[in-house]
Each structure stands twice: as C-alpha cells, then as structure tokens.
Chain A
Amino acid sequence: MRKFDVLIIGAGSIGVPAAYYLAKKGLSVGVIEKLPSEGRGQNRAAIGGIRATHSDPAKIKICQLTIGLMNSFEKEHDIDIDWISGGYLFPVYDEVLENKLKKLLVTQKKFNLNIDWIDAGKVKELVPGINPENLRGGTFSPEDGSASPLKMTGAYLKLAKEQKAEFFFNEEVKGFRIENNKIIEVETNKDKYSADIIINAAGGDAKEIGLLSNLDIPVNPDCHEAGITEPVKPFFKPMVVDIRSDENSANYYFYQNKEGQVVFCITPKPSILGKDTDNTSVFLPLVVKRILNLYPRLRNLRIRRTWRGLYPMTPDGFPIVGWTKEVSNMFLAVGMCGQGFMLGPGLGQIISEIIVDKSDKYNFILDQLTLYREFAGIELLK
C-alpha cells in the first residue's frame, strides 16, 4: 500500500495544477488517473479561453489568480504554454443585451475587473471585418486571454513531477474503505493507497467517484462540440463571445490561438446530456452559420478538426469546491461546468493554501461553492 499526504483522483485541469502547488508546499502527492496521460479527459477538449470576467466573487477570484499565474508562467518556468493576453470581447447588436451587459459591468467593476464598454469602432478595430450592421459596441476585458490546454497541463505535469508528485496513469479508482467517516484506503484496479486527504478532481466522473463513498454530488455532464481551423497569420486578438441565442443554440465563441488557428465552440440548445463524445452532423452547419453571420471574413478559413467535450454541470452552473460533511478527509474540486481549464491553476493554488497553510482567506469561496448550498442561483455568463 502506497501512502501519500494527499491523493488526487483525476489528472486533468484541476488535478494536475493542484498536484504541483501541493507538492511545491512540501506534501507528498499521488495522482490516480484512469486515462493514459494527463489531461486526456475534458482538459484536452477545452478550447483554451481564460477569463476573470465572471459574475460572481468566487470564480472571479479564482480566475484572477489563474491569469496572474499565466502572465508570469513563461518567465518563471521557462515553458511556453501559448498564453496570449488578447482579451475577451462580447459584441452587442441589440439594446436589451447592451443594457444587460452594462448592468453587469457595475458588479464586475466592484471586483476590480478590468472590463469596460467599448463602442462599435473599437470593436471593429479589435475584430477587423466583424459584421458592422447594427453593431452597438460590446464589453471588452483586455487582461483575459487564452492558452493551450495541451501545453499548460503538460507543463504542470512536468512541474509537479519535479516536485516529486507521483502520477499513476491507466489506473482506475474502484472503491474506498471508510472508517469513522474517514477514507482510510483507496483501492484501484492495480493497487491500494492511503492518504490523509483525498481530492475528488474527477471532472466528468466526479459523480461516480462520489458514489463510491456514498456521496451524491450533483454533477451531470452535458456536451459541447468544438473545432479548430488551419493556421493563418494573426488577424484578430480577443476571444469573441456571442451570447445571443437562436432556436438551436445558445452562445458560441472563438479566438485565434498562438499557432494562428481559430478555435471555436458552441452551446447546443437544448443541452445534450450524457457522456457521449462522438461527433454529430449537426455541429458544423450550426456553428458555422452563426460564426459567419458575425464574422464573414472566416468564410475562406478551412476547418481542420472537430471534437466533443463534456461540461460537468452543476444545477446552478457554479463549481463545487470544499470539504464534505459525510467524509471528513474528502475535498471536492468538481463540477467546473466547462471552465475547469481556466479555474484549474488558480484553484490549485487556493487548494494548496487551504490544505497546507490552513488559510482562511478563501472561506468566501468555500462558502459560495459548497456542496451544501441551495443550487438556486443562475450563472449569467456561463
């Protein structure tokens, strides 16, 4: 039986950075992952957007931390993760949305977010060729950006291993032995482990891992399809988010990554529930119609690859982070609702401070994102 201070279940967007920050603070860390390498679950399906401009204090704080880490990542670790601080742009074509976003700006500014309303002319400068008809302007947050999930998670794996974190790939958690409300043994298909603290960072499988300790975690994945184009010379900078809906889809978003490829994703309406990630014929016409109406210049851009990924959703669209009452040494970092990639580094650092430094400065996050909340709110900017 292997013993660790902390055992993390899941080597994805959350588990890998958390392993690094915990190990860096001197803990012995083990990470169990059923897939063959890091980030092979939903991390790989993330398109790479990172923004702090959410509508609630917890996610804003976590992602502000992430952005801080991204800004210094290459300098600190000498690893390129394709971070571009290109900003997030929400273009607006109608008055109702303009009012809604302007109202939200008030809240966002309260959290010291660098976000403001920009006029149509500035939008056209940021996204040359964007459909100008009825364009009213939009909100723009220049400090947000994007990075490569592939490279970032690979980098965190490398860093975590340097800090002596151990990763067990192709290994699946099969059960917990619980005594006195405490997990004293974790059994996988290959080995047995014990740890003072177990972190459930199992992404799309968070619910199943919870059930192994008789804990019902309300995380149910739905599915989004994404695509990437051929690379071309850089021609627009921000992540463009069109939060309007039509009859078959809700929002969609796209940006040009450091390689020059445009990455795009759409939220289907109604949601497609379940864990099926096989590609369907519906996606391309649906997303392309909307993208080209907004940004006709992309018409000659060739789509290279498509894929489907899961959004491990909670009932209110906010993550679940914190200790459980039922199992005293189980910490949850689940239900990231499709934002695990941008939350992961910040959350990893926060978790390390909570666990190692016993810090209480993040109690507002634990309060907001507790498993024991009502799940009654609605995330405005999913």
Chain B
Amino acid sequence: MDRIARHPVLNTNQERKSVNFYFNGESVQGFENEPVSSALIANGVKEFSIHHIGDAPQGIFCANGQCSHCTLVINGKPLKSCITTLKEGMEVRTLVHLPELPEDDRNVEHFEVKNLKCDVLVIGAGPSGLTAAIELAKLNFDIILIDDKDKLGGKLLLQTHKFFGSIEDCYAGKRGIEIADLLEKEIRSYKNVKIYTNTSVVALYKDKKAGLFIDYKNYALVGFDGLVISSGAREKNLVFPGNDIPGVYGAGAFQTLVNRDLVKSSNRIFIIGSGNVGLIAAYHALQAGITVVGIADILDNVSGYKVHSDKIKRMGVPVYLKHTVLTAEGNGQVERITIAEVDEKFNPLLEKAKTFEVDTLLIAVGLSSIDEFYNTALKFGYKAVKSGDADEIAEASSAMFGGRISGLQLAKMLGKDVAVDESWFKKAEVLKSRPGKTHSEPVTELNENYTPIMHCYQEIPCNPCISVCPSGAIKLNDALGSIMDLPLYTGEDCTRCGQCIAVCPGLAISVAKKLYGEWAEVVLPHEFIPAFHENEFVSLTDTDGNYLEKGEVMKIQFNKKYKTHLITFKVSLGNAIKIAGIRVQDEDKIKPLPKPVFNYIPDNAVLCRCERVSVGEIIKFIKDNDIKDANQLKQIRVGMGACGSRTCSILLPGIFSAAGVNWFEVAENTKRPLSVEIPMGAIINEDSEESV
C-alpha cells in the first residue's frame, strides 16, 4: 500500500485498524473508516468507473462529496466512495456503465419523518462556520451545526502549513490542522450546539425547513429561525483535451488524499494555477515526498502570495508563467502532460510546447463560492448570512475572522442587541486583501551580531513575526498602517532565539551574522525531515530560488512549538544576506522530455463531466440551433448529471463565446434541488432504529 510513512508535520503513527476488503474480487487492505476512495488510491487504483458514454475510464475528481466521479459499486450499491467509509470485508467493484439496482424486494417496514428544530442552522463547519457558531453559541442560541465530513474544520484539516494573518485575530503562525483542533474543542464545549458530521443539506425548502442527509443514512427536516451559510467553495475546472482522464483532479482533492488520509496518491505531479491553493499543494506534495515537476500559470505573474511562490521556488519547483496546459494524455490514466507558452491573447503557441512525464495533473485555477443555499435563502426571505468562501474566496485566516462578524450579524437579525465593532470590518477587509505592491529587496549590512533578514517584500496581510520577537525588535514599516505593511528589524541585540524564523508562514526569515574571514553563519527554516546531517554540504538558494552555493550544515535544531527545523549553515560572507532557502528537489528530476509529444484536439475537451459532453459537441449545438438559453443545452445532457451543472456552469461563458455568442445575451441555466443525491429508503428513514 502506498501510504505516507514519514511526514515533517503530520502524525503518521496514528493508531489505525487495518481491514481486508475486496476490489473486483481481489483481497486488498485499507484502514477502517477511511474513505473507500482513499483506500483504493493507496492500493494504486486510479480507474473507478467506466462511463457508459465512450467507455471512458473515470477517476476521482473532487474527493469532497460534490461531484460523483468516484462512484463505485460498494456491497452491491452504487455509492460515492469519497464519502463512504471502509469496513472489514466490503465488496467493492468498478462501476461499469450504469449500475444495476439491487433486487431488494423486502416490504417497507418502517416509515418515519424525522423533525428537528433549532434557532440557527449552520451549514458547514469550516473556519468561518465554526467561528460564526461560536459567536452565536455565546449568545445562547440553540444551534445545529452540520458538516459533510466526519471531522470538523473543513479545509483547515488539509492545511499543514502555518497560517498568514495576525496571531490575535486568526491564529497566524499556527497550522490549519492545529486551528481546527482548537476550534473544535471550543465549539464542543457549548451545550447549546448540536453537531452532525457526515451530514449534507439535501435542499432548503420554501416552508422554512432544510432537508438533511444525516450520516448519509437518514433524512431529517430541520426548522430554523436563522441560517449561517458557510458551505465553502468548489474548485473550478479547466477545459483542455484529456481533462477527464484519471489522474487529473483538483488540488483540494489532492490535499485531502495526502494530508487528511495520508495516502501517497502520486509520484510525480504537475500543477496548473499559481494561486495560493496551487502553491500550497506543491508544498504539501513535497512534504509528502512527491516530486513536483512544475507549476504553470497563464498569467505573467504568480497569483498567490509572493512569499508562497518564492518558498516553492527555493525548494526547487519551477514556475512556468504565461503557460497553459495543452493536453493530459496516457493509456487510461495520466502518463504525460504538455504545456505551452501563450501569446498576448492567451492562445497557446504549439511550437513552444513542453511535455513532462507525470502521473497526476492538479487543477488549481481558483475556487467558486458555494452560494446557492444563500441565494435560495434570500429568495425565500430567510434570515441568513453567508461567510467564508461561500461569501467571498479568501484565505482561511480571513474566513475565521469573517465568521465571527457573520455570527454577530445574524444574532442582530434575530433580535439580539449586539453590535459589531467598526474596527472589525476594517480588519476583515485587510485580511482578505489580495497581495499589494511588491517592493525591492532591501540590502542588509551584516556584522558580528545576529541580524534577522526579511525575504518578504510584497504587501500581504501577515504579521506574526512582530508578535513573537521577544525584544519587540521586529516592527511593521507603517507605510499603510495595517498588517499589510512590511516587517523591519529595528534592533541591535538579536539573540537568535529563532522565534521569527520558525513562525513565518512564508519561511521567509533568515538570521545571519559575520563569522571570521570571508565566512558567515545563516540560520534557515526547514519544514522537512532533514535529508542531511551536520557537516554535510547542502544546496542553498536566494529568495527566488536561484542556486547560490552549497553551505555546510553546522547545526540542526527543531522548534517543537512550530514544528519547524532551524538549520544553521556556514556560508560565504558574500552570499550570506542573499541566502534564503534550502533546495529539496533535484533539478534533473523535473526536466521536460527532449521533444514534446502530444496530440492536441481542443474540441475533445470534456465540459460536462457527469454526462461526458465535449466542448466540440456543445459549440456545434449552440451554433446549429442558435442557442440563447443555457437550459437548452440540457437537450444534449449538459448539466443533467449528478452535480447539476455545479461543476461546469462556470465554464459556460467561455464556451458560448467560442461559439460566437455573447454570454450577456444568454439566459443562465436553472439550478434545481437536490444538492446531493439521496436514496429513497433514506428519505423515509427505513433503516432507522427508532420507532415511528
């Protein structure tokens, strides 16, 4: 089984019970209660089903319960394997074409409509849902908090990296997984909060009730006075030939497999998209021992924080700007991908194509808010707030702060005499800021005293370094008057305590001093299990990842609080102030093939994954029938699948435009309930223990 055996941050020694199960009749092993999908991927399975259209192999896509690409036949029933937990002896089979309905003809013995009631229903226990629920719980509201995963925390559970932001407002410097623990402890301490995990909203109804699919077994109607919609976001898909083959999936799905389920899902990945999600996915991959062959972005600059991308580049991951993905190809699964440079109009230049051998292509081209519940709530006139990514895509640090505000706002709507401090709104705005100006890297003079060097000169909302410096010598430069300002070292007596090095989420602080002669000492952060010993020579780079020299390891220390190694190097004095990071990935492992190998037929890209409708078919249908209403595409099944066009509708404007139709003249497709599929037997709680 391909599991992550060693990890610099995650605990890989968790007590997990091994179980036997069967995949297509063969006995295989997994861990009890992990998602069936993860157990299969750990066993090297990439093909989950064969689509009835075109016999196309299908792999995992969202790993998040949103799409249905991981559907398998489990104990005779078609089920989404990413939300089905593994049990001893399970019979799992590849789904070939349409499933057969089991001939279960027992009479229905039990019928029950379950009804629940609360003051506030909180949909989604991610960073913003948890903080909103905490604020409301403090004000004595009876709360039902639901989440579609088995643990609270949402995407925090996938975040092994330290958070940006500020310590006082959003736990900056702590890792997402640690923050999830803290928030879970707090929310569970309130007796007026009832928590349902593994629970999805099936629909919001006109009669002020929500239908819940509880534990993916039972159905309950819950009445409420107010709603917090903190349902997060879904990953945007991208249209290119081969986008549907197993091994192409979202960066979020990858983080779920690797960081939550400790599955080594891949050996070599490529990432499309240089936003924070793509950058972090690269970092998570490296920590899991997976080679990151490259990151490509169609824009001419990195979309995420500069400190993030610098960090990734220092580790040895190339970032290909002004590049797009042409194809993903392979026999039934990804074996190679091809990228190409684009011209000013973003058209790919095929003569500038590069092919890389990888087994996985991650799509990290942004997120879109899951805001349909909020829109429905507004339509029905409910008292409702949305927060976190469901409101606006931003960092989790901002979501946590925004959640508190949303909670209080809802309390006010529900008649509580509360007010949100004006300063909170300003802080919230700052926390969700896009990166600001990039300044030039300042030059630091070295002397015999230790001096922290900030390789951080793009304005981002982050300041834990100033909070942890025991002598208060690190300050913000006060140009903007917010935490967007750049940090400066203003002292003279740095003790090399290492706090600032260890806390920095960008791993962007080094501490250096002059030694003797032409030598200097540099202390660098390292969030890997060191692959070197003292006195060994290790490749070191400047801020942007350019190789400078091999430095001699003098000391390896570990900061337990921040789970970060501090490595002291002896380096040449001339490079000392420039040295910012340790290369962890070999350059020759990430080179493209000598010549590009690809077959580029853009029309073959799949737009509607559920029903396998290609871009070419859709464009032809739009042109042939003068389509001006996206609903008409349902005639060729676009949007008729399990996801209800939630994955592909965001791509439609581009398709209409490619067909020569102005999107603004097109009626948008109607999104109907249900938001998740639910078996008929669950609706009537047939298997519920309780009596009618």
Contacts and interface: CB of A to CB of B under 8 A. Distances in A.
Interface of A: 36-38, 40, 44, 128-129, 131, 133, 150-151, 154, 157-158, 169-170, 229-233, 235, 259-260, 276, 278-282, 284-285, 288-289, 291-293, 296-307
Contact of B631 (A37, A284, A305): A37
Contact of A292 (B108, B642, B672): B108
B598 interface: no
B680 A291 contact: yes
Contacts of B219: 284-285
B364 to A, nearest CB: 29
B497 to A, nearest CB: 57
Residue of B77, B106, B627, B680 with most chain A CB atoms under a 10 A cut-off: B680
Interface residues of B, number: 50
B425 interface: no
Given A151-B635, A231-B98, A276-B206, A297 B103 contact: yes
B209 A281 contact: yes
Interface stretch (B144-152, B366-374, B392-400, B681-689): B681-689
B107 A296 contact: yes
A303 B100 contact: no
B683 A150 contact: no
A299 B686 contact: yes
Contact of B101 (A150, A284, A297, A307): A297
Contact of A303 (B102, B631, B680): B680
Contact of B684 (A150, A292, A300): A292
A305 B101 contact: no
20 contacts: A36-B628, A36-B629, A37-B629, A128-B103, A133-B107, A158-B625, A169-B628, A230-B78, A232-B98, A232-B99, A284-B211, A285-B683, A289-B108, A289-B684, A298-B680, A300-B679, A302-B78, A302-B678, A303-B678, A304-B677
A300 B203 contact: no
Residue of A38, A133, A281, A296 with most chain B CB atoms under a 10 A cut-off: A281
A279 B107 contact: no
A291 B105 CA distance: 13
Interface in B88-124: 97-108, 111, 113
A93 to B, nearest CB: 13
Given A37-B629, A288-B680, A306-B672, A280 B106 contact: no
A52 B102 CA distance: 33
Given A37-B628, A230-B642, A306 B203 contact: yes
B673 A305 contact: yes
A366 to B, nearest CB: 34
B182 interface: no
A10 to B, nearest CB: 16
B679 A296 contact: no
B244 to A, nearest CB: 18
Contacts of B558: none
Given A37-B629, A233-B100, A305 B680 contact: no
A280 B207 contact: yes
A299 B221 contact: no
A273 B5 CA distance: 63
Contacts of B77: 300
A216 B111 CA distance: 45
Contacts of B102: 297, 300
A300 B113 CA distance: 18
Interface string B196-207: 000000010111
B98 A296 contact: no
A145 B205 CA distance: 32
A224 B408 CA distance: 39
Given A285-B684, A302-B677, A307-B672, A296 B104 contact: yes
Contacts of A303: 674, 677-680, 683
A285 B114 CA distance: 10
A128 to B, nearest CB: 7
Nearest to B205: A281
Contacts of B625: 154, 157-158
Interface in B374-396: 379-380
B667 interface: yes
B135 to A, nearest CB: 28
A307 B642 CA distance: 15
B101 to A, nearest CB: 5
B207 A304 contact: no
B319 to A, nearest CB: 41
Contacts of B627: 37
Nearest to A155: B635
B634 interface: yes
B252 to A, nearest CB: 24
Contacts of B674: 303-306
A57 to B, nearest CB: 34
A300 B104 contact: yes
Interface string B167-209: 0000000000000000000000000000000000001011101
Contacts of B686: 292, 299
Given A150-B635, A300-B681, 7 more contacts: A278-B206, A285-B219, A299-B104, A299-B108, A303-B679, A303-B683, A307-B672
The 5 closest A-B pairs by CB, nearest first: A299-B681, A36-B667, A37-B629, A302-B677, A281-B205
B632 interface: yes
A279 B111 CA distance: 22
Given A299-B104, A300-B101, A40 B631 contact: yes
B98 to A, nearest CB: 5
A292 B680 contact: yes
Residue of A40, A129, A232, A305 with most chain B CB atoms under a 10 A cut-off: A305
A192 B98 CA distance: 51
A357 B644 CA distance: 45
B634 A299 contact: no
Nearest to A130: B105
Contacts of B113: 285
Nearest to A227: B674
Residue of A128, A279, A293, A306 with most chain B CB atoms under a 10 A cut-off: A279
A296 B207 contact: no
B206 to A, nearest CB: 4
Contacts of A298: 101, 680
Nearest to A230: B677
B684 to A, nearest CB: 5
Nearest to A128: B103
A288 B108 CA distance: 11
Contacts of B97: 233
B101 A235 contact: yes
B416 to A, nearest CB: 27
Contacts of B99: 232-233
A154 B672 contact: no
A299 B672 CA distance: 22
B661 to A, nearest CB: 13
A288 B684 contact: yes
B595 to A, nearest CB: 43
A23 B679 CA distance: 46
Contacts of A235: 100-101
Contacts of B105: 129, 296-297
Interface in B623-639: 625, 627-629, 631-632, 634-635, 637
B174 to A, nearest CB: 40
Contacts of A302: 78, 677-680
